[in-house]
Amino acid sequence: MSKDGDNSENLEKLKKALKIRDMIFYVSIAIGFLSMAADLMITKNIFKHVGELMILSIFAFGFAIYNEGARKRLKIKIEKIENGKQT
């Protein structure tokens, strides 16, 4: 198989992985916000928390931050492949 065919297949795989990472990113943000909202509705106080819900929201936001870094790395790989194709 030619090099261009390998690059186009690799590019499609990376774009699909980026879409999946985008969905995971948005779902983890939504879980974080929903768990914080549930915590506030249960306790009705900003300064008192249900520990499990706060831990869930912190982990969800931490995972979203990690996932954002992975998304940026994928975008850089996609740009390199596309720029290599143009030259």
Contact 36, 53 (CB under 8 A): yes
C-alpha span between 76 and 87 (Å, rounded): 17
Show pLDDT as tens, one digit a residue, over the chain (87 residues).
Answer: 455 567 788 889 999 999 999 999 999 999 999 999 999 999 988 888 888 989 999 999 999 999 999 999 999 999 998 888 665
Q: Considering the entire predicted model, what is its pTM?
A: 0.77
Give the C-alpha distances (Å, rounded to integers) separating 55 from 8, 28, 39, 43, 52: 42, 13, 11, 15, 5
Contact 9, 81 (CB under 8 A): no
C-alpha span between 79 and 5 (Å, rounded): 17
